[in-house]
Amino acid sequence: MTIPHPTGVHPAWLPPAAFRAAGSRRVLVLADEPTTAHGHTPAEGTAPTQGAAPADGAALVATVRAEVAEACGRHGGAVAALGQACDLVLALTSARALPPAAEAVRGPEIGPEGFLLGRQDGVTVVLADDPAGLLYGWFEVVRQGEAAFGPAGDHAPEAAPPAEPHRPELEPTEPHPPALEPTEPHRPAQRPAEPHRPAQRPAERHRPALKRRMLDHWDNIDVHPVMGQVERGYSGGSIFWRDGARCADLTRVRAYGRLLAASGINAVTVNNVNVHATEARLLTDRLGEVAAIAAELRPYGIRVHLSVNFASPIQLGGLPSADPLDESVREWWARTTERVYETIPDFGGYVVKADSEGQPGPFAYGRSHADGANTLADALAPHGGVVHWRAFVYNHRQDWRDRATDRARAAHDHFAPLDGQFRDNAILQVKHGPMDFQTREPVSPVIGAMPGTRLAVELQVTQEYTGQQRHVCYLPPMWSEVLGFRFRSEDTVADVATELVAVSNAGDDPYWTGHPLAQANLYAFGRLAWAPRSDPAAILDEWIGLTFPEAGEALRSTLHTMMDGSWRTYERYTAPLGVGFMVRPGHHYGPDVDGYEYTPWGTYHFADRDGIGVDRTRATGTGFTGQYPEPWSEVYESLAECPDELLLFFHHVPYEHVLRSGVTVVQHIYDTHFAGAEEAAALRPLWEKLAGEVDPALHARVKERLDEQIRCAEEWRDQVNTYFLRKSGVPDARGRRVY
């Protein structure tokens, strides 16, 4: 096992210096090499545990040993043998002999992928029931740095309570917001060494809240004439595919797996959900290419999944039909899936986009989506695999004149009546909002409507509608609001969800994510998938501490200031009050207020001379509010109770409607767009002060992106404000320049 360090690639949140605290210690690794990731051999004929780590647990143990050896070799520590003095023990509970410090930490069963972290008699101990937990425990020690060898405190696993579904009402915006000043970081991720190290630290149990934490890659093998190598990708090409084939050098794929494991990810889909002709063959004659990728990710506990075309029995098998209830179709899927597992024994399963935006699906045969999903689920079940069936199904050829048809309603209309009809290994993958990853949306009512179905909540790390990695936009505060939303009881979205899935933002760019600061979104998704109640501000400081481990306070506090409120800054200068879109059609970058207004995509704002917004009420509109349970159906129905930040998503209101902040809708639009552009402009001088504090190439890349963000924010400000001045005839009350 060789630790990957691809040449010319930024190390992201795993630079060598981040390993100094652990690598300068004497480290003992105790792990009897198990047959499976959980340290035991499964009974003959039984399927692997769904969602478990890959079956080759010995590979994970080898990874831990290699990680420890490299860190110690680099930073002056030592790999200890049993019986020798040590400062850090990483051990499986099944190990034949544990030192006294580890025995003292041992407690009740830890659980899959989890670990105990404590300190006894001056020795820091990580105990895990399986090798995956051991690997995650190692990365937790790296994350804590010197704090792992001191008292408990900032890094205890109990996190902040889930975010409330809505923040306090929007405050009136100052006409000239003060320049941003660096603030004290919420929680530093690395600490300097202290002269005194307490000998004891109570054991803390860390284990993932969700057993599958997955990234979908919308990567194409062939360069698509419109969408390119990576659909909605803003970070160069694919790390998996190039020039119509698998990348010859997969070192970067293994490095990617290492980054993901360090953040808590354990599953990856390697191709686009829009499965084109070439990509469809990954299921059959090009399966070896998928197996090669799986081999690179396996040492870091990551299972590979594959997006497949619903019509594969026709396209690949030569059958006349893809009817999911046709026995020959079911047999084809079963045979094909068996061959997949013969090639990749720890294969995760399939991802399917069907009856959506031109993709084939069961509707062509008069079948339901449960029928379609269950056919694939039955083929996967004997092998322990799962199918992720996307709920992104709507009419993309809508007549813009028809106000009764509502894209927001579509997923609930199609899927809620099917609750309880999906197999246990069929996961319904639901976008977090009812539209399409907008800067502000309500939580999808589908998530609260299907208690008898396993659900994966889908987020988007790639910034399709949030600045495309040209703008600083730290998204976890938005995700935290979604995960903390409560439909009708104490259960949050995070409690209801079986899994968390996101569209990755990584590519072959030297900085992985195009904008170096966008790495924080990728890291934070993994951390929130592991622990959905975590504080986004604390995760941000973790990322800063790991990525810039030798940084001074000025860099840490400045980065925190620039990034922590950046989602709300982006929201201020783009589409107002939850109305969404207003972007250039096709590529979705930059302002175009009416760009989608007369198209068939169902993405309208209905602005006229009198007002703006979509009437989704039961009383006079599309009835979408009725898809929510109480109390939300009444909250969203009521103009008086609807949160201001979602007002235009649910209601068509006059421009002079007064928000709870005390300003009118049109004045709010003016104020926020001026404020958002000013906040964006304030980022540049903060970053310029950091010249010399970071690598010059990284500094130049961020400055280039900030320049574009400022330009684009001003364009948003001027186009949106001018549009609504001309529509409404109402001038800005503060007399600022509107064109």
Catalytic residue among 357, 608, 610, 707: 357
Q: CA 88, CA 25: separation in Å to the nearest integer? A: 7
Buried/exposed code over 429-455 (b: 16+ C-beta within 10 A; e: otherwise): bbbbbbbbbbbbbbbbbbbbbbeebbb
Quick one: 199 exposed, middle or buried, by C-beta within 10 A (0-12, 13-18, 19+)? Answer: exposed
Residue 239, pLDDT above cutoff 90:
yes
pLDDT band at 151 (very low <50, low <70, confident <90, very high): low
Q: What is the mean pLDDT of residues 667-674?
A: 98
Residue 195, pLDDT above cutoff 90:
no
Nearest Cα residue to 646 out of 613, 678, 670: 613
**pLDDT tens per residue, range 583-620:** 999 999 999 999 999 999 999 999 999 999 999 999 99
End-to-end CA distance of the chain: 62
Instruction: Say if residues 519 and 513 touch (Cβ distance below 8 Å).
Output: yes
| The total number of residues written for the chain in this structure | 739
Quick one: 626 exposed, middle or buried, by C-beta within 10 A (0-12, 13-18, 19+)? Answer: middle
464 as an active site residue: the answer is yes
Residue 192, pLDDT above cutoff 70:
no
Mean pLDDT, the chain, integer: 91
Read off the pTM.
0.93
**pLDDT tens per residue, range 451-472:** 999 999 999 999 999 999 999 9
pLDDT band at 327 (very low <50, low <70, confident <90, very high): very high
Would you state the pLDDT for residue 109?
A: 86
542 as an active site residue: the answer is no
Would you state the pLDDT for residue 164?
A: 39
Q: CA 34, CA 55: separation in Å to the nearest integer? A: 10
**What ranges make up the beta strands (E) of 107-170?**
115-120, 123-128
Would you state the pLDDT for residue 197?
A: 59
pLDDT band at 475 (very low <50, low <70, confident <90, very high): very high
Q: CA 679, CA 173: separation in Å to the nearest integer? A: 12
Catalytic residue among 87, 464, 571, 678: 464
**pLDDT tens per residue, range 42-92:** 333 334 443 333 447 899 999 999 999 999 999 999 999 999 999 999 999
Instruction: Say if residues 305 and 268 touch (Cβ distance below 8 Å).
Output: yes
Q: What is the mean pLDDT of residues 408-437?
A: 98
Residue 407, pLDDT above cutoff 60:
yes
Residue type for position 658: V
Comparing 14-23, 218-227, 331-340, 379-388, which segment has the lowest mean pLDDT? 218-227
Q: Which two tokens stand for residue 97?
A: 């002999």
pLDDT band at 198 (very low <50, low <70, confident <90, very high): low
Q: What is the mean pLDDT of residues 233-246?
A: 96
Instruction: Please tell me the CATH code under which domain 16-155+199-206 is placed.
Output: 3.30.379
Would you state the pLDDT for residue 714?
A: 98
**pLDDT tens per residue, range 627-657:** 999 999 999 999 999 999 999 999 999 999 9
Question: Residue ranges per domain, the chain?
Answer: 16-155+199-206, 212-398+416-572
Catalytic residue among 87, 216, 231, 436: 436
436 as an active site residue: the answer is yes
Degrees (nearest 5) of the Cα angle 567, 568, 572?
A: 120
Q: CA 343, CA 341: separation in Å to the nearest integer? A: 5
Tokens 């709920």 label which residue? 391
3-state secondary structure of 660: coil
Q: CA 576, CA 663: separation in Å to the nearest integer? A: 14
- Rounded to the nearest 5 percent, the helix, strand and coil shares of the chain are 35, 15, 50
Residue 281, pLDDT above cutoff 90:
yes
Q: CA 173, CA 149: separation in Å to the nearest integer? A: 46
The yes or no reply on domain 212-398+416-572 and CATH 3.20.20.80 is: yes
Secondary element (H or E) of residue 616: none
Tokens 């809240």 label which residue? 209
Q: What is the mean pLDDT of residues 132-160?
A: 78
**pLDDT tens per residue, range 509-535:** 999 999 999 999 999 999 999 999 999
